[in-house]
């Protein structure tokens, strides 16, 4: 895509939808707006863009230059659910609630690279992590349709698409990193592995397998490690009661905290605090 010819205007969402189980729908070749994004939630379909076919299956996401002639075809034997949106440039008389495209491209290098590589269309093999973002956008479009919130979601979605892996190999790295980041941010709230998998949009068994292979640790070992690291910091603060720390860092009860802490550090939390305070006093 030639970025030099893009108008320096904000983008706005002119369409967002969840199609239901399309099976017999027939679409004529058409063109509109700037870009279109479609996620295949169920089934399969074929996009034809400027005469080039793109065969899409469940979990695929296609980003296409919608100014090119395109259409979508379905297999009449298998229903297909597509979640999508279309972005266009704002008209001259519309208020510019969002930054103009040139400003976005100057600041967001991921999005710039995404558009530079967009020739016709890009297909991402696994976009499950964006299911919630697209669903939220479609619901806002159907209900309140607040321009600022809707367009904020659209810009956020573009940033997330720009970071999606484009091969199965990078997909493992991508989801492992997302799991690690979520654990670091929310270790005190996490109750089970299913919660982590649901946040990322993966099957829990698959996530557990790829995470252990990539990191050498289980998901729960990483959660526990983050909790104990937080406990170290809190134990260094004598004003914080030890009997409150287990709840602050997410352990279900004090005994579990005590056992995990002693297993990791070879001493109880209270002994660790006394040792830490002596070291600080001697220093």
pLDDT in tens, 207-235: 999 999 999 999 999 999 999 999 999 99
For residue 201, what pLDDT is reported? 75
Which band of pLDDT confidence, cut at 50, 70 and 90, is reported for residue 267? very high
pLDDT in tens, 105-149: 888 898 999 999 898 999 998 888 888 899 999 999 999 888 889
Tell me the pTM: 0.67
For residue 93, what pLDDT is reported? 64
Rounded to a whole number of angstroms, the CA Rg of the chain reads: 24
């Amino acid at each position: 895509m030639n970025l030099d010819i893009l108008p320096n205007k904000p983008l706005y969402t002119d369409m967002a939808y969840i199609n239901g189980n399309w099976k017999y729908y027939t679409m004529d070749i058409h063109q509109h707006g700037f870009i279109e994004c479609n996620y295949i939630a169920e089934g399969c379909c074929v996009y034809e863009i400027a005469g080039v076919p793109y065969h899409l299956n469940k979990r695929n996401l296609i980003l296409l230059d919608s100014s090119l002639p395109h259409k979508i075809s379905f297999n009449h034997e298998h229903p297909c659910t597509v979640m999508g949106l279309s972005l266009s440039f704002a008209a001259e008389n519309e208020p510019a609630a969002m930054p103009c495209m040139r400003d976005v491209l100057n600041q967001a290098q991921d999005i710039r690279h995404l558009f530079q590589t967009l020739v016709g269309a890009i297909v991402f093999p696994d976009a499950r992590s964006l299911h919630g973002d697209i669903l939220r956008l479609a619901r806002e479009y159907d209900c309140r349709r607040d321009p600022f919130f809707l367009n904020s979601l659209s810009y956020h979605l573009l940033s997330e698409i720009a970071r999606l892996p484009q091969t199965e190999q990078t997909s493992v790295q991508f989801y492992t990193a997302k799991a690690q980041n979520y654990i670091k941010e929310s270790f005190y709230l996490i109750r089970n592995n299913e919660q982590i998998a649901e946040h990322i949009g993966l099957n829990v068994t698959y996530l557990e397998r790829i995470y252990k292979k990539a990191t050498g640790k289980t998901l729960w070992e990483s959660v526990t490690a983050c909790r104990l690291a937080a406990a170290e910091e809190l134990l260094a603060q004598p004003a914080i009661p030890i009997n409150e720390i287990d709840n602050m860092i997410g352990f279900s009860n004090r005994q579990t905290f005590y056992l995990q802490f002693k297993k990791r550090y070879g001493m109880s939390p209270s002994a660790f605090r006394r040792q830490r305070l002596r070291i600080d006093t001697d220093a």
